[in-house]
Structure 1
């Protein structure tokens, strides 16, 4: 198949065609140590493994790129595991092949890595979404409730199931159509992180397949070094196959507010003020934009014209703007007290008064807001474009200097990507 593809591609240039054709033919001479024979032997060895699931070798294009869409690394094979034992078997097999095989392995959930971390060039990609949750999404109530789930489970499914019991994970990412193992291998940060820490701070226990192919259970007390290495370890210390995640009471509704600032110092001071309060907002996030007046109604969330009578009159005049997004959780019977608390909190802030947008939506609608944005972008063909992305943790002592140099001197009016600012407490 690869020879045929090369013939088609190089037909217009006979010299190039002959050169490539000869290289391919010579490299495949029997008895010669070469890539073709190695791949053939490796493929046969993988194909002979005793698995509950299966391995595919032909249709691998879906695992050759990730969300970043900047790298194209086709794997040799994709494992579709039906048990943790399947993952252990393949990892042990690759280990036994030794370094001479150059075979690598990568766990892949929804592939939302940005620089090819979920890819394995001519290696084995493990499709974690194929890993079944034999016991389903198991919820344990009590003084410290938790949910026990497969590493390939999506966060949106966990939210839907836990809400049936009046519970919910405490910390989220902005986008919920990601796997548990994927976000726990990173950090899992959103606007709740200042209060509850990132997602990796809300895990009681993990089941891991190590680099030796061993299935190991770990927690803060059991194999603690492995536990803390895997959480946020970018998949370098093991593959997360199961997790126990802390739960808390789930609210019914949220009061969702967005306001604008033209001065970064004022914006940052208000963010820091809010995350220092014991009884404040439940979600605090920020973003930066330039030369746009539609910031409050962008692809990441939607507000209707009725949500504000004044914000539509605001003009940016090409300025760099800072958006503060805050949320207050509440149940329906708490609406009056929630409104009073919200008004008091807003009175302590120094945003541009004419830019306040406010909306009341169900809790699940707020948490799943970016998925609606995804649908809009997919319809425009803008979702699967290259996504260069950079995450930084900047200390408070340097944030003003950083903002001056980056937001004022580097950003340009043609910058289209989201620039998010999550204030976090070191203690969390």
Structure 2
């Protein structure tokens, strides 16, 4: 099917090979050329395609988490930003819910919408400009695609997630954290300008200097106030190589102390860490760090390792190209897909744990956590500086340092009882961390009530609800997280 046919009314119903030409307001169903006797309203002309065939709808009801399944009534593959404007205006007229979907990497149905319209942003994927300090990209561009192009000019985005096959719009809607966050913040802290289609169907340009209120309402705003359609992101000069250090620890307190040391003196470009299961039971701790360089200049290992108290003789040091290091998960993902595990349910848990409580909290969790509880998924633990975070909707503890603690679960076996147990464990650990002053990273699989969201956003709750009313007055956008109901207070400014 040609997705680039210009300016045509194009809802293709593949079941009956009929063109859908309108929407039945009374029956709330699509009208095709085969049943056009009913009274209906024409859909807008589009540059892309609006699908209603069963296969496309089912695919849009499944995400990486494969736990929550909500089926839309249509899926838009936009051919232009104007398509998104048009479809949101149409949806607003007929009170149809709308959600944007990037790579479908959410774990708890965050980008799904029951009986609504899903906008598949993957067709909006053009890199418009790469300059010396910035790039202008459509929201559907993958970070890997942007990186491959910027590297040709010796440039890179400052922060990349561990898995770089995610869309720009997707990660900017939640935050976007990675091993360089201790230096540069999260990805939303490295955005210069956005183009956003609001829930009222208006295309707006916003930045710290222009339309600042919308800018701060959308970045890490979980899709509540608008759909990011284009972003201008920062670029910095990069090296060609990475020297990667893997250092093992047997003591949690020593491990976290060394991690704090490394993010404070910033001797490494990249700092993360993991809990690694021991064959005899229990866990060891892996500090992962990388120093970026371009020959003939090479890192000084003695300087980089000075003062660290890892278990001597366990270290592993390896040189890779910069891209090989950042794309290191590609082979693992390909293997998981080849054996079918990639499609298993993934009840992920991602928590920001206060620095003051991290040893006691993680020690208690690790004491009872088993490989079966994770499905052999990774368990991450690494610190970041909260002073690097500039956006109010990216919520972290009120301490100078917080640790990202992630249990990236895979349900093995992939049955409902396993998933239910993992979700219950996630909720229990979330509540324990919350009571310590910690926060959820909202990419997680944790059932959340409206009261949970209100507590999560704290002082910014009323401001977010007010922004929702201002930019999405009919409460159409991204309903699945269940954040905001239709009623809202008077407008307040997010600062």
Question: Normalising to structure 2: TM-score of the pair?
Answer: 0.69
Q: Deviations over 1:328-352 (max 9, x none)?
A: 00001112xx1x2x32221311111
Instruction: Specify whether residues 113 and 206 from structure 1 end up closer, same or farther in structure 2 by C-alpha distance, changes over 3 A only.
Output: same
**Within 2, Cα distance between the matches of 1:35 and 1:53?**
23
Instruction: Specify whether residues 164 and 349 from structure 1 end up closer, same or farther in structure 2 by C-alpha distance, changes over 3 A only.
Output: same
Gaps of 5+ in 2: 1-23, 389-495
8 Å CA contact 2:125, 2:137 repeated in 1: no
Q: Within 5 A, what are the aligned runs for 1:238-317?
A: 238-278=226-266, 280-292=267-279, 317=280
Superposition RMSD on alpha carbons, in Å? 2.0
8 Å CA contact 1:47, 1:55 repeated in 2: no
Q: Give 1:354 shift.
A: 2.2
The residue number in structure 2 matching 1:379 is: 338
Instruction: Specify whether residues 211 and 35 from structure 1 end up closer, same or farther in structure 2 by C-alpha distance, changes over 3 A only.
Output: closer
Q: Give 1:35 shift.
A: 11
**Within 2, Cα distance between the matches of 1:231 and 1:200?**
6
8 Å CA contact 1:190, 1:422 repeated in 2: no
**Within 2, Cα distance between the matches of 1:46 and 1:105?**
18
Find the residue that maps to 1:255 and give its secondary structure.
strand
The residue number in structure 1 matching 2:480 is: none
Q: As a proportion of its length, which structure holds more strand?
A: 2
The residue number in structure 1 matching 2:129 is: 138
Question: Normalising to structure 1: TM-score of the pair?
Answer: 0.80
Find the residue that maps to 1:360 and give its secondary structure.
strand
Q: Give 1:94 shift.
A: 1.1
The residue number in structure 1 matching 2:378 is: 418
Q: Within 5 A, what are the aligned runs for 1:102-121?
A: 103-121=96-114
Gaps of 5+ in 1: 1-33, 293-316
**Within 2, Cα distance between the matches of 1:148 and 1:413?**
42
Q: Give 1:49 shift.
A: 1.8
**Within 2, Cα distance between the matches of 1:378 and 1:348?**
41
Moved over 4 A (4+): 40-47
**Within 2, Cα distance between the matches of 1:220 and 1:331?**
34
Counterpart check, 1:332 vs 2:332: no
Match of 1:73 among 67, 70, 74: 70
Instruction: Specify whether residues 46 and 355 from structure 1 end up closer, same or farther in structure 2 by C-alpha distance, changes over 3 A only.
Output: farther
Q: As a proportion of its length, which structure holds more helix?
A: 1
Q: Within 5 A, what are the aligned runs for 1:128-207?
A: 128-133=121-126, 136-141=127-132, 145-207=133-195
8 Å CA contact 2:71, 2:114 repeated in 1: yes
Q: Give 1:358 shift.
A: 1.1
8 Å CA contact 1:257, 1:356 repeated in 2: yes
8 Å CA contact 2:61, 2:112 repeated in 1: yes
The residue number in structure 2 matching 1:300 is: none
Find the residue that maps to 1:242 and give its secondary structure.
strand
The residue number in structure 2 matching 1:95 is: 92
The residue number in structure 1 matching 2:351 is: 392
**Within 2, Cα distance between the matches of 1:164 and 1:343?**
32
The residue number in structure 2 matching 1:53 is: 48
Q: Give 1:407 shift.
A: 1.5
The residue number in structure 2 matching 1:311 is: none
Q: Deviations over 1:308-332 (max 9, x none)?
A: xxxxxxxxx4231111000000001
8 Å CA contact 1:137, 1:161 repeated in 2: no
Find the residue that maps to 1:391 and give its secondary structure.
strand
Tell me the matched-pair count. 356
Q: Deviations over 1:32-56 (max 9, x none)?
A: xx99922246998686321111211
